[in-house]
């Protein structure tokens, strides 16, 4: 799992887990899988401690309990090699949507973006890639027990599916656009509630001044422009951005937050033209629980759990995940957290997004755990959608990712810099974007049912 990122360890770890719980009691399988979950999610979700220290162990326990429940379906029957990958893929699928609309971080799928199975995402998204990775573990476990036919069966399926993924449709290039992303730099571990937003804004103005044209679009990160009173449209900051757009003769897509009242705000990405008009806008739909809104606020505010760090709740946006950019057309937008959700980039491509921008803000978290997983998630989304992904952060990581999941440029953390790349505009849908997630969950449920169905020989 990123940031450590050595993909062969995932199927090896899966195989070891399967061998350990293979022939023990139901109770031992459950507790063994619960412990397996703590080993999986504890280190890879360590950033959550900085978000909510009391909630971190609770979240890890919830995620681990999904694996424990999946283990309850395993038994000593001959079809364990079939039920194990399907049942644990169902556990991953549930985590993608529950609780709080899903927490799909540290997923098995993003651990495989550099591996030979990554092309499965082009066919069936993160669920099929998870199923394939669990299946690869079943191959190794079967070989360790000298069970040739289960290993051969899974291996044949994986090879055939990976080959199909390599030639599956991934869109068609219709043109190119020169895109510049701006990373203002600065320290990590900062909070909007306690740090001066003007400093962040000025850092990005200073970095932006180093752009060398011509460019077709300039992208700033998530919420580096804070409109404390009134709206961004009526602020001097809009005039600053319009002036820079006029100098480069190119539109800007900038991340803003606007106060709606003393209890709510909105997080959006706005297109600013050289003449100051704003023809496109997208407001974030998937909000970060405990980061952008506080579930059970009335209860948590009475407890010493740091609820004051989120004094107001973000209002969820509505509408498709695209915005209109003059001279380019429709551009997909997934803001920060949303890049972990396959449904958001699927929505962007289904609504005509020719490439996808992912403005984000990881400055609240010290270290590289979340930031490197977000780059891996952008790689996964690029493969799924057949689109370029432009990820831009105020303090890193910012990156360009091509439709095959290759990272062409990536910034370091903290540095102030500008990256420029020629990005393809693409049309067409991959099979993953046409099909969605539900058929793969149905397939896994069917495999579990088949494996648990007794068959009598005449």
**pLDDT band of 309, cuts 50, 70, 90:** confident
Closest CA relative to residue 424, chosen from 387, 382, 375, 390:
387
Using alpha carbons, list the distances in angstroms from residue 202 to 132, 196, 266. Answer: 47, 11, 21
Q: In 166-300, where do the E strands start and end?
A: 172-183, 217-219, 225-227, 252-259, 264-272, 280-283
Q: What sign for the dihedral angle of Cα 187, 192, 193, 198? A: positive
**pLDDT band of 274, cuts 50, 70, 90:** very high
Report the pLDDT averaged over residues 198-211: 96
**pLDDT band of 74, cuts 50, 70, 90:** confident
First to last CA, the chain: 48
Summarised one tens digit per residue, pLDDT across range 139-170 is 999 999 999 998 999 999 999 999 999 999 99
Q: Rounded mean pLDDT of the chain? A: 92
Q: Cα separation of 264 and 297, whole Å?
A: 13
CA 446 to chain centre: 27
H/E element, 426 = strand 417-427
Q: Cα separation of 74 and 130, whole Å?
A: 18
Of the CA atoms within 13 Å of residue 274, those in its CB half-sphere come to 11
Q: Cα separation of 401 and 388, whole Å?
A: 6
pLDDT at 97 over 60: yes
- Token digits of residue 200: 């962040």
- The pLDDT of residue 312 is 87
Check residue 411 and report its DSSP letter: P
pLDDT at 173 over 70: yes
Full DSSP string of 65-125: HHHHHHHTT--SSTTHHHHHHHHHHHHHHHHTT-STT----S-TGGGGTTSTTTTHHHHHH
215 Cβ contact list (under 8 Å, min separation 6): 178, 179, 180, 248, 250, 420
Q: Where is pLDDT greater, at 428 or 189?
A: 428
Please say whether the beta carbons of 386 and 404 come within 8 A: no
What is the percent of the chain where pLDDT is above 90? 77
160 Cβ contact list (under 8 Å, min separation 6): none
HEC sequence for 312-370: CEECCCCCCCEEEECCCEEEEECCHHHHHCHHHHHHHHHCCCCCEEEECCCCCCCCCHH
Angle (CA) 212 218 219, round 5°: 135
Using alpha carbons, list the distances in angstroms from residue 146 to 77, 82, 157, 381. Answer: 16, 16, 19, 37
């Amino acid at each position: 799992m990123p940031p450590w990122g050595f993909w062969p360890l995932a199927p090896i770890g899966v195989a070891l887990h399967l061998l350990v719980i293979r022939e023990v009691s139901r109770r031992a399988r459950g507790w063994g899988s619960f412990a397996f979950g703590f080993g999986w999610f504890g280190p890879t979700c360590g950033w959550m401690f900085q978000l909510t220290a009391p909630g971190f162990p609770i979240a890890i326990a919830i995620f681990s309990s999904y694996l424990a429940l999946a283990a309850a379906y395993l038994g000593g029957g001959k079809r364990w090699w079939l039920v194990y990958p399907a049942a644990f893929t169902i556990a991953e699928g549930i985590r993608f949507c529950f609780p709080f609309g899903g927490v799909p971080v540290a997923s098995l799928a993003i651990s495989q973006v550099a591996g030979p199975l990554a092309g499965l995402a082009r066919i069936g998204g993160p669920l099929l890639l998870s199923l394939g990775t669990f299946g690869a573990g079943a191959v190794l476990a079967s070989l360790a027990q000298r069970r040739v036919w289960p290993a051969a069966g899974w291996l044949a399926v994986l090879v055939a599916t990976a080959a199909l993924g390599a030639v599956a449709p991934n869109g068609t290039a219709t043109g190119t656009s020169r895109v510049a992303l701006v990373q203002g730099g600065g320290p990590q571990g900062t909070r909007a509630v306690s740090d001066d937003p003007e400093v962040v804004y000025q850092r990005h103005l200073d970095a932006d001044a180093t752009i060398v044209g011509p460019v077709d679009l300039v992208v700033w990160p998530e919420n580096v422009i804070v409109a404390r009173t009134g709206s961004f449209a009526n602020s001097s900051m809009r005039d600053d951005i319009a002036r820079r757009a006029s100098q480069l003769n190119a539109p800007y897509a900038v991340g803003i937050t606007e106060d709606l009242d003393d209890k709510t705000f909105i997080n959006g990405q706005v297109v600013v033209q050289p003449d100051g008009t704003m023809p496109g806008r997208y407001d974030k739909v998937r909000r970060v629980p405990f980061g952008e809104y506080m579930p059970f606020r009335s209860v948590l505010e009475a407890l010493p759990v740091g609820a004051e760090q989120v004094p107001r709740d973000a209002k969820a946006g509505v509408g498709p995940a695209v915005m209109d950019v003059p001279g380019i057309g429709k551009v997909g937008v997934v803001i920060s957290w949303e890049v972990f959700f396959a449904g958001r980039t699927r929505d962007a491509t289904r609504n005509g997004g020719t490439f996808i921008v992912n403005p984000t803000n990881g400055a609240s978290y010290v270290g590289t755990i979340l930031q490197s997983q977000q780059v891996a998630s952008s790689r996964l989304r690029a493969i799924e959608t057949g689109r370029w992904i432009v990820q831009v952060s105020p303090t890193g990581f910012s990156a360009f990712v091509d439709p095959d999941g290759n990272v062409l440029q990536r910034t370091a953390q903290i540095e102030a810099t500008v990256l420029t790349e020629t990005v393809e505009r693409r049309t067409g849908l991959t099979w993953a974007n046409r099909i969605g997630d539900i058929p793969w969950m149905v397939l896994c449920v069917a495999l579990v049912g088949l494996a648990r169905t007794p068959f009598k020989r005449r």
